[in-house]
């Protein structure tokens, strides 16, 4: 493990120790955790070699999918599941996975529905991109792999999935790392207009709302997604080979349908599936997250990078970090910092559970909605 990772872990352990000490003096975990300093770091932009690989893929039937996934590290090690977003793929974690596996963790990196070699088992299954469906895929994968509990980490759609799993199935999460923090969707709340500058940032979602947008994305997905990469990460100087390695994942036959449905559903323009209605009802209440968590803000998040707007949603052990000079694809732009956050969240959970084991349960405040 690099010296940077070691030093960052020590810093987090010091913060966690302060949290535990604060709890012993009667503060709630939420209040105690938030007494920890917010870390601000300027992480170097990583440029992985264009030929590097995350490893051989495996396939497993899980829920409604035949999931393609990479599996690295010791098979009996504590499990970390890394979840990508759009328009990205598993190669966002190409430098993160070795850092974690070398630390003794088993690293599972699946292609989401509609990406790469992941396929639906039936042609009759609706090509649905709503958040509850994608999160249910993660639980189904854990079940298929006989993984009772894991640390989950992700960005973009992956971060949303991490938040949803932690909110709905906290017993399956040892800890989480979520880039951009709490981004669980409330479709009704999404109907509220934003200031013009903020609306401009979501131009592609409104494009996808049109039939022209659907046809345009189907015809030009590589050029479209390369543009999104540049807009979301203006300081990241990726090369063509790095982009093309990921762009192959967009050739999935269900890719366009999943992406278009995801964004139309979020805007309330297309319905979700009845099977997920109850889960979405619970998520619309914006439930708090009680598992140990680290959130990461970057330049992509603008004024929200400090995490102040969502810190209250994390009511367990919690820390927030800001990566200056880094765009949206945090794992690929700053792999050391992202891996450090995962190792620290894992260690935070171990320390938190040791405290519970020796001290017994502590009072937890009612979740704030």
CATH class of 3-359: alpha beta
pLDDT digits (tens, 9 = 90+) for 286-337: 999 999 999 999 999 999 999 999 999 999 999 999 999 999 999 999 999 9
Contact in structure between 277 and 131 (CB atoms under 8 Å)? no
Rounded Cα–Cα distance for residues 263 and 228 (Å): 15
Q: Quick check: 193 pLDDT over 90?
A: yes
- In b/e form, how buried is each residue of 250-259, taking b as 16+ CB within 10 angstroms? bebebbbbbb
How do residues 74-125 score in pLDDT, each as one tens digit? Answer: 999 999 999 999 999 999 999 999 999 999 999 999 999 999 999 999 999 9
pLDDT for the residue 358: 53
Q: Taking a C-beta distance cutoff of 8 angstroms, is the pair 213, 189 a contact? A: no
Mean pLDDT of 197-219: 96
* Predicted model pTM: 0.85
What are 220-273's pLDDT values in tens digits?
999 999 999 999 999 999 999 999 999 999 999 999 999 999 999 999 999 999
pLDDT tops 60 at residue 275: yes
What is residue 258's predicted lDDT score, i.e. its pLDDT?
98
**What residues form DSSP beta bridges with 150?**
173
Domain ranges of the chain: 3-359
Side-chain-side CA neighbours of 131 within 13 Å: the count stands at 28
**Tell me: the pLDDT tens digits for 4-62?**
333 344 444 434 443 433 333 233 343 344 334 344 443 433 343 434 678 789 999 99
How many other β-carbons are positioned within 10 Å of the β-carbon of residue 125? 15
């Amino acid at each position: 493990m690099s010296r940077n990772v070691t030093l960052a872990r020590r810093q987090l352990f010091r913060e966690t120790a302060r949290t535990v000490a604060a709890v012993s003096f009667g503060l709630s975990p939420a209040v105690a955790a938030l007494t920890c300093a917010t870390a601000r770091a300027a992480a170097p932009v990583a440029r992985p070699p264009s030929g590097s690989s995350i490893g051989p893929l495996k396939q497993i039937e899980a829920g409604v999918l035949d999931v393609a996934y990479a599996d690295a590290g010791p098979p009996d090690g504590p499990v970390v599941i890394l979840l990508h977003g759009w328009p990205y793929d598993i190669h966002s974690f190409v430098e993160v996975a070795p850092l974690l596996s070398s630390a003794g963790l088993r690293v599972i990196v699946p292609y989401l529905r509609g990406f790469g070699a992941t396929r639906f088992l039936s042609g009759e299954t609706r090509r649905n991109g709503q958040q509850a469906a994608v999160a249910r895929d993660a639980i189904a994968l854990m079940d298929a792999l006989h993984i009772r509990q894991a640390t989950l980490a992700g960005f973009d759609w992956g971060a949303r999935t991490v938040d949803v799993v932690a909110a709905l199935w906290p017993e399956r999460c040892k800890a989480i790392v979520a880039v951009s923090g709490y981004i669980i969707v409330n479709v009704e709340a999404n109907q509220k207009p934003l200031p013009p500058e903020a609306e401009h940032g979501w131009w592609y979602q409104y494009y996808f709302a049109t039939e022209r947008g659907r046809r345009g994305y189907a015809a030009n997905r590589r050029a479209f997604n390369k543009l999104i990469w540049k807009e979301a990460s203006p300081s990241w100087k990726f090369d063509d080979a790095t982009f093309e390695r990921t762009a192959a994942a967009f050739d999935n036959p269900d890719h366009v349908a999943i992406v278009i449905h995801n964004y139309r559903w979020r805007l309330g323009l297309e319905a979700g599936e009845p099977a997920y209605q109850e889960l979405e009802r619970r998520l619309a209440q914006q439930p708090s997250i009680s598992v140990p968590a680290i959130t990461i803000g970057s330049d992509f998040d603008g004024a929200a990078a400090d995490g102040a707007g969502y810190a209250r949603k994390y009511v367990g052990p919690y820390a927030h970090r800001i990566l200056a000079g880094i765009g949206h694809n945090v794992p690929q732009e700053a792999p050391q910092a992202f891996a450090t956050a995962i190792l620290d969240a894992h260690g935070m959970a171990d320390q938190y559970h040791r405290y519970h084991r020796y001290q017994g349960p502590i009072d937890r405040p009612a979740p704030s909605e």
